[in-house]
Amino acid sequence: MGAPAPRSRLAAWLAIAALIIVADQVTKVAVDKLFAYGERLPLLPVLDFTLLYNRGAAFSFLAGADGWQRWFFTILALGVSGFIVWMLSRHGHQRLFSWALTLILGGALGNVIDRFIHGHVIDFVLVHYGDWFFPAFNLADSAITVGAVLLIVDEIRKPRSGDTPPAT
């Protein structure tokens, strides 16, 4: 593992995660106040704002369960968030990796807040084409997705043992 990151570096990553959480919560509160459940506002031919509630996880996984999933996903997200903070404390100097973790952290905690307060996650971005609809999502989900993509990019860019370094 790496050496612990300076506290200021960790604090900066956590501040960015906090900004993601605030932006996520502000957008969710606004949509929840401005829209009736299921109401749609077309923005583009393939994009609407619509207020939907997700009691499950990604793609409404376990949304139809008896309610235990709220606490399961909350505890899971809090555990993962703790691990991410620990990883940021150890690897905060790795910029791409830390951006990825920070986006995932902010998104995960944004959705945890929803689950804790409302018992569901507020979703409002709906992408569709004809009769095809992508599951509705929110800013937190977007941050998690971008973070996951950045993790993959970071992993692809890492040199492997046995690789020869590029000539300079």
Name the helix (H) or strand (E) containing 125.
Answer: strand 121-129
- The catalytic residues are 123, 141
Amino acid at 11: A
Q: How far apart are CA 111 and CA 121, in angstroms?
A: 6
- The helix/strand/coil state of 37 is strand
- Give residue 33's identity as a one-letter amino acid code: K
Place of tokens 């235990």: 68
Kind and range of the H or E run holding 52? strand 47-54
DSSP SS3 for 168: coil
